[in-house]
Amino acid sequence: MWRALLFHTSILVMCWQTETFSQWVTNHNAMPQPNVPVPSVGVVFTDPSFGTEVARITDARASGAPGIVPQYSKREAWNADESLMLLFTGEGTALLYDGQSYKFKKALDYVGGEDVFWHPTNPSIILFSQDSVLYSFNVVTDELKQIHVFKGYTWANTRSEGNLSRDGRYYAFVGQVYDTVTHFRDIVVYDITSDTLIAKMPLPQTLEGFDWVSVSPLGNYVVVDYATTNVGRYQGVEVYGKNLNFIWQKPIGAGHSDLAVDANGDEVLVMDQYNDVTNSTFIKKFRLSDGAEISLLEVSWQYDLHISCRNEARPGWCFISTFDGEGRLTDSSSTWLPFEDEVFALKMDGSGDVQRIAHHHSRRFSPATPDRDNSMYWAEPHATISRDGGRILFGSNWRQNVAVDSSVDTYVVDFRTLVGVSENKSIPSDFKLFQNYPNPFNPTTVISYQLSAVSHVTLKVYDVIGRQVALLVDETKNAGKYEVTFDGRRLASGVYFCTMKTDAHSLVRKIVLLK
């Protein structure tokens, strides 16, 4: 019954304004949440504090569903071309929506489990892990395929918080065995393209703390959160190479987080960390290659937060959704904290720059729902950003019927017309190797190239008889534009050839060194 009702309550066409706002709200002031009546489905309203356009897109109560929400902040809701969107009921049923009009299309009865991913490049395919089997499901044809059975495990998944690499090739998971309790046996890296297990790392038999595992966006690293703040192996957060060679460890494994590629092209972990000296929470960025860290923002300890870095076409920003913790069951405008119960964008360069998006009007903990055993988890907003960085979804009970699961619905904020968003897209339309500049050169020149998808790239320079004289790049890169400086001071004057190769492309440019 609820599925039929879902269709009828989701067919309203929303008319978004096309006005371009001149600026964002960018201060760090306390901005109390105004009392706004719960919106009707399909009605677009302007957030009175931040000027953004917000709309409610589901009605769980009318649909008979125990809440309808985004899956999680770290998971993509939109597919590869943003034409389709996934939401979930509180009991885990996957629901397919149109990604632009937000009309309900159908329930996906075959899809479920702790890991449900849109394929990063194929907009029709969902990949998901149930028990120890990885499947693909085509949402257009309803074709279900078994990809791989991970034998020897009861469950094989990321523990709900990992992702595939952005090219859809690599999947890192923890193999678990259950008898009377769950045992974490191995970290495994699987190559979906070649159907090959490329690395396996046994875990200590005494291991108890374990939160999640994920391959990094470009597939170069594997990150494990062991859910402790202790120093030492298999504690805190550990980072490994793709082949599971150990790189670094930090005692930071008790916060919310997401993995990203920053504006420098570095793969990073963005994570919140409580500091008992300042009695506050710091949102930090950790570079995966070496663990170098930078503090992005200090916020109050009195609320918790989730982080979303799914905005691959708008690198350099992460998206934060805060929510009051168990110690803050009531609030008022006179005691409102900066960024409290809010969704905002945070620049990942350490500047502290923010773009404040919306109040989410949701409450998990209250006098009626005072603790984790007596509250609705789905009332946490779990805001997740779109791939183009211009829309964000969050779940909210609008502070009404907070003890009832069906009070939680999904809302969307569309800020694609705001200054700095549409101008900031960075995914090129094709692969190119540009002519170096200057050319001829002496002694250095800049070589530029671009990628339209995540790719392993080699950039080499050869002389006229085919000898390699320089290796400039040999790594997996995100889609985007790049440049590298070639130093020819040790070479003789003459003609050389710069080659760029990916799995599917081979490009050459002639360069001239003239001393």
Which CATH number is 110-254 given?
Answer: 2.130.10.10
% pLDDT > 90, the chain = 84
Identify the pLDDT of residue 481.
Answer: 84
Q: What is the mean pLDDT of residues 432-454?
A: 91
Domain residue ranges of the chain, discontinuous segments joined by +: 1-109+256-426, 110-254, 432-513
Residue with tokens 């320089």: 470
- Arch. (CATH architecture) of 432-513: Sandwich (2.60)
Is residue 10 pLDDT above 50, yes or no? no
Q: Do domains 110-254 and 432-513 have the same CATH topology?
A: no
pTM for this prediction: 0.85
Structure tokens at 394: 């969050």
pLDDT tens, position by position, 134-146? 999 999 999 999 9
Q: CA geometry: angle at 252 spanning 251 and 256, to 5°? A: 160
In this predicted structure, which of 110-124, 160-174, 333-347, 467-481 has the lowest mean pLDDT? Answer: 467-481
Which is nearest to 171 in space by CA: 215, 105, 227, 115?
215
SS (H, E, C) 161-224: CCCCCCCCCEEEEEEEEECCCEEEEEEEEEECCCCEEEEEEECCCCCCCCCEEEECCCCCEEEE
